[in-house]
Amino acid sequence: MELRSTRRNYLKRGLVGAAGLALPLGALSGPIARIVSAESVESPRVERFSVPLPIPPVLEPVRTDDTTDYYELTQQEGTAEILPGLETSVWGYNGIFPGPTIEAQRGRPVVIRQRNELPVPVSTHLHGGMTPPESDGYPTDLILPIDGGSLSTYHEHASGPAWSFHRGSKEYTYPNEQRGTTLWYHDHRMDFTGPQVYKGLAGFYIIRDEIEDDLSLPDDEKDVPLMITDRTFKEDGSLFYPSLDPSLTGQPGVLPTFSNGMRGDTILVNGAPWPSMEVSNTRYRFRLLNASNARIYDLALDPSPPDGRSFVQVGSDGGLLEASLAHETIRISPAERFDVIVDFSHYPVGTQVTMKNMRGDGRTADILRFEIVREERDESTIPATLAPPQEFPDPEAAVATRRFQFLAGILGGMSTINMQTFDPARIDARPRLDSTELWEFSADPTHPIHMHLVHYKVISRDGGPPGPYDAGWKDTVFVPSGTVRVVAKFAGYRGKYVFHCHNLEHEDRMMMANFEVV
Ligand code: C2O
Ligand code: CU
């Protein structure tokens, strides 16, 4: 019960102790005392590149009609053999991690019934989706456990019109009126997104469209989604996460040493540790997604091809670029996607090419390995023009400029936007429907910043031009110390949406705010 009472203090944002901690550690009892001593957990060793790369299964609709595809997903506990020879319990969509991939077609709506058989509330967000507010997975629009207690069992402070709940299941409608691109769906429960995504609640959602279908980019088994995450495991194979309350029903948050993010020592791609993939000496398309809670990667190939064009980027968060863009390395912060072509014809058959993380050290310096095992004729091309010229919103047409400063570790250890912590009832910006605005994000130290509903265009960094990873439409932008300006048009739907830091531990420590399209 002590936990419940400190919870109340925690919510009186800013009223927490001057010691810089979000909670008085002296008040912690049993389970927390145990994790305090587990801060230095090291995962069991795994032989790298020994597990084949898994591809998440594509979900079949339960029903389709003239206009719409209907799906059902059950969020439930499952068991996975992630580390060879050990069992890991995960929370997954249909019990698997990553969840099944949803394949959608532009212009054809998808309806997903989400059933919650987990012991905690959930909310499911389609990241990058242009989604009506009631289907956006708002953090306090919860699906309660199918056979659990009331809202206050899980969120003691939940009250007022900013909170709503559904018992056991909820239907989400995705219009798919947006460009073809790689989206992902993941948990977004108030205060507990970090641990719930970490336990496995994340999957791909791919929208295809005619523009893309008409290109001859690598497809079928050469169009490969890669979900990169990092996790730490305990000796018995279970996941280690530094929750203050591992039941995820009381005190939210993590141990103070992890308040800048949980970074694991084991890199998983599509849920497998440092996997390996056999390829032919042809082009492959990789849909890179960083679904890690907090880790940023600098991806590179080793050896890199002679011309240095390791990754030819064809798409960003919001779909195809107008023209491809070559990178020797790609920096990818949490929630970003890069759609890239890797051309293995640069290498002789028999070569092993490792995707490295130049920001990592030791085990986290490796991601996965490609083994070029056969020759094959390549039918694919990378056309000079990928997509018609985009109608990016015009900065000149902006009717407002808003500035948001993302600061972590103040107000007693909280993460803030403009010195305020998240309050689901407070609206921080009211853009008009169909209006264009400039939003300026400044960050200290570094934050990946995500807006729901809109895709935006990065127009400057620290007053200079956008960076090499800012091309195309973005919904998440990495802001290292400094300032990034984006231009967005608030089209689609009226209603309340969040924007936030996608370092999930920052998000859970309240680095989130509301905008309402009016
Ligand atoms: Cu990927 Cu608000 O989230
Ligand atoms: Cu952050």
Neighbours of 62 (CB within 10 A): 12
* CA 410 to ligand 1 centroid distance, Å: 23
Ligand nearest the Cα atom of residue 479: 2
Which residues contact residue 167 at a Cβ distance below 8 angstroms, ignoring those fewer than 6 apart? 143, 144, 146
Atom of ligand 1 nearest to the CA of 184: 1
127 C-alpha vs ligand 1 centroid, how far in Å?
5
Cα–Cα distance, 315 to 63 (Å, whole number):
31
Question: How many other CB atoms sit within 10 Å of the CB of residue 408?
Answer: 22
The pocket around ligand 1, CB under 6 angstroms, is made up of 125, 127, 186, 188, 335, 450, 452, 498, 500, 502
d(CA 265, CA 252): 23
Q: Which ligand is nearest to the CA of 475?
A: 1
- Kindly give the number of the ligand 1 atom that is closest to the alpha carbon of 335: 1
Atom of ligand 1 nearest to the CA of 500: 2
**Cα of 506 from ligand 2 centre, angstroms:** 5
CA of 377 to the centre of ligand 1 (A): 40
How many angstroms separate the CA atoms of 122 and 453, rounded? 20
Q: Is the dihedral of CA 420, 424, 427, 431 positive or negative?
A: positive
Distance 125 CA to ligand 1 centre (A): 7
- Ligand 1: atom nearest CA of 137 is 2
Question: For residue 64, how many other CB atoms are within 10 A of its CB?
Answer: 13
Residue 383: C-alpha distances to residues 1, 214, 317 (Å): 62, 11, 20
User: What pLDDT sits at residue 403?
Assistant: 98
Cα(512) to ligand 2 centroid in Å equals: 9
pTM to 2 decimals? 0.93
For residues 299 and 328, the answer to whether their CB atoms sit within 8 Å is: no
Nearest atom (ligand 1) to Cα of 476: 1
Ligand nearest to the CA of residue 128, numbered in listed order:
1
What is the per-residue pLDDT for 39?
A: 58
Structure tokens at 277: 């993939």
Q: Are strands 239-240 and 272-273 parallel, antiparallel or unpaired?
A: unpaired
pLDDT 10s per residue in the chain (518 long)? 233 333 333 333 333 333 334 444 434 444 444 444 455 799 999 999 999 999 999 999 999 999 999 999 999 999 999 999 999 999 999 999 999 999 999 999 999 999 999 999 999 999 999 999 999 999 999 999 998 889 999 998 888 999 999 999 999 999 999 999 999 999 999 999 999 999 999 999 999 999 999 999 999 999 999 999 999 999 999 999 999 999 999 999 999 999 999 999 999 999 999 999 999 999 999 999 999 999 999 999 999 999 999 999 999 999 999 999 999 999 999 999 999 999 999 999 999 999 999 999 999 999 999 999 999 999 999 999 999 999 999 999 999 999 999 998 877 778 899 999 999 999 999 999 999 999 999 998 899 999 999 999 999 999 999 999 999 999 999 999 899 999 999 999 999 999 999 999 999 999 999 999 99
Q: Does residue 69 contact residue 173 with C-beta atoms inside 8 Å?
A: no
> Which atom number of ligand 1 is nearest to the Cα of residue 499?
2
Backbone conformation region of residue 335, classed left if phi is above 0, alpha if psi is from -120 to 50, else beta: left
What 3-state DSSP class applies to 76? strand
The DSSP H or E segment spanning 486 is strand 482-489
Instruction: Note the ligand closest to the C-alpha atom of 480.
Output: 2
Which protein residue has the closest C-alpha to ligand 1 atom 1? 127
Per-residue DSSP letter, 396: G
Helices (H), 25-178: 30-36, 151-154
User: Which ligand has the shortest distance to the CA of 290?
Assistant: 1
- 68-125 pLDDT, tens digit each: 999 999 999 999 999 999 999 999 999 999 999 999 999 999 999 999 999 999 999 9
pLDDT value, residue 413: 77
C-alpha 11 – ligand 1 centre gap (Å): 22
**In whole angstroms, what is the distance from residue 486 CA to residue 439 CA?**
5
Q: Is residue 335 within 8 Å of 476, Cβ to Cβ?
A: yes
Helix-strand-coil percent breakdown of the chain, rounded to 5?
A: 10, 40, 45
Rounded Cα distance, 515 and 492, in Å: 14
Ligand 1 centroid to 425 CA: how many Å?
Answer: 18
